[in-house]
A and B are shown apart, each in its own frame.
Chain A
Amino acid sequence: SAVISQKPSRDICQRGTSLTIQCQVDSQVTMMFWYRQQPGQSLTLIATANQGSEATYESGFVIDKFPISRPNLTFSTLTVSNMSPEDSSIYLCSVERGGGGTEAFFGQGTRLTVV
């Protein structure tokens, strides 16, 4: 398993501002994943963050809106830029481990409300 610490756990932000979410893992991992979970819905992958290279973004997500840093093998940040109420969501970081199948472990999430 993996222990993932994510902060902040929640925030209320003004539209037009930016919020940076931090994710710390208790061991070194090659890839870290950032997901968005809109109210009452499942998880949508935003991007995959690799150490030492630019993040890979999924369709519908762009670097200007969701810049990601991955300075080392245990840490990553996701910034939600120029926020609007539509960005209100839960943001989750995740790592995957082999373990007989690909298994995902998640931080506790950041509940973002944009007003």
Chain B
Amino acid sequence: TQLLEQSPQFLSIQEGENLTVYCNSSSVFSSLQWYRQEPGEGPVLLVTVVTGGEVKKLKRLTFQFGDARKDSSLHITAAQTGDTGLYLCAGAKNNDMRFGAGTRLTVKP
């Protein structure tokens, strides 16, 4: 059983569209991270959210941490082909970090 559930598992969209991916858990986390992984590379940290209800923006990416610190969402506006990759959320709790199964995003030109 996955501690962190990510949805959707796969997402294929056209360039210019908007999308949201979700990361849900029954556990409370002290912080939550989002990573993007491209083929042949390790995951790269995008953002860390720490406070319940927190919203962070990184150019076209908007990250939100749920009020109860159990869930998070990543919204991408006007997706570009360069956004293609595997998006992973990870929750930190008691010095332990666990990863979700990931959302594999494909942005078609």
**Which A residues lie at the B interface, using CB under 8 A?**
1, 4, 6, 9, 40-43, 45, 92, 94, 96, 99-109, 111
Contacts and interface: CB of A to CB of B under 8 A. Distances in A.
Contact of B88 (A40, A43, A109): A43
Interface of B: 2, 30-33, 35, 40-45, 48-50, 88, 90, 92, 95, 97-102, 104
B49 A101 contact: yes
B contacts with A: majority SS: strand
Nearest to A1: B45
Given A42-B88, A42-B102, A101 B42 contact: no
A109 B45 contact: no
A34 B31 CA distance: 21
Contacts of A100: 31, 48, 50
A102 B99 CA distance: 12
